[in-house]
Amino acid sequence: MPIVFAAAANHAPGITGRRDNAFPEQREVFFAAYAELRARLERARLDALIVVTAEHWTNFFLSNMPAFCVGLGESHVGPVEDEPFLKIPQARVPGAPVLARSVVDALGEAFDVAFSEELKLDHGAMVPLHLLVPSMAMPVVPIIINCLAQPMPRLGRCWQLGQALRAACATRPERIGLVCAGGLSHWPATPRSGKLNVEWDRAIVDALLAHDRQRLCAISDEEIVRDAGPGGHEIRAWAVLAGATDGEDGEVLCFEPIPAYAVTGAVVDMHVGGAGAVAAPADRLRDGSLPT
């Protein structure tokens, strides 16, 4: 069936690890938005959640760096970060291996994605999961994007992955949610950490809401590094969401620059759960049938 929940949000480790360092009024707005998103996720009665996020040298290194990797595991352990740092206790998050294999198979029409039965989860998935599914009981299919090492997948390719995911999910019986978690501008692990480019961040969110493929996918890696720092490469997760929800309305629940978290705290919900649930275009279904 069509995707019934879709959202984008930040995953910066400071969100949980340095939660109280933000100004109280910023904290209030940001975490209220995440709480609202959680309430909407719960109303969507999901069977499984696909979490698209960035590689952070947790699973892969330069010896082998896939553009996209889908987690097929029965479960996923995370976070890899120490609890005193991230303030998230380690958990074993259930996987959704049948769904994950089906997604990999369906993506195979257009993408030769990597897959792994042993993906570990870091803050990229665990921060949004901690805030959206604190029980960690939701079956999760993680999808990791190379946002670290050149050559990275093009933004247009990430958009196409979103479209292919949309088609793959539409053939499945589960109620599936999609969370795409990545930073906007940020300069992690550099002396400029905490610097934000709020204007650039706003433009990315606006391009997502408008599904402005031309604008979003025309941004070069050189421009990203110049304007948004090395962490800006993580907008690939946002491009996946834009492709997966093309044509659907969305809503910014929060857009709050929070230097203490080293990101603009952005939470965006795409309105896909009602009558306008995200259906795959008929010509993208593998068997040629209309989505049900």
The residues that touch Fe ion, with contacts defined as CB under 5 A, are 54
Residue closer to Fe ion by CB (options 137, 189) is: 189
Which sign, positive or negative, has the C-alpha torsion 66, 110, 140, 208? positive
Q: Tell me the C-alpha distance between 111 and 98, whole Å.
A: 19
182 touches 153 (CB < 8 A): no
Name the residue nearer to Fe ion (CB basis): 23 or 57.
57
Helix 235-244 vs helix 198-210: crossing angle, to nearest 10: 20
In this structure, the number of other CB atoms found within 10 A of the CB of residue 17 comes to 19
Minimum Å gap between C-beta 14 and Fe ion is 11
Please name the amino acid found at residue 279.
Answer: A
- Which residue is closest to Fe ion by CB? 54
CB of 54 or CB of 224, closer to Fe ion: 54
Compare residues 54 and 272 and give the one whose CB is closer to Fe ion: 54
**Smallest separation, CB 53 to Fe ion (Å):** 7
State which residue, 258 or 279, has the beta carbon closest to Fe ion: 258
| CA pair distance 215, 201, nearest whole angstrom | 13
Angle at the Cα of 29 from the Cα atoms of 28 and 33, rounded to 5 degrees: 115
- Pair of tokens at residue 83: 């609890």
Shortest Cβ distance from residue 123 to Fe ion (Å)?
Answer: 7
| Distance in Å, CB of 88 to Fe ion, minimum | 15
CB of 234 to Fe ion, least distance (A): 5
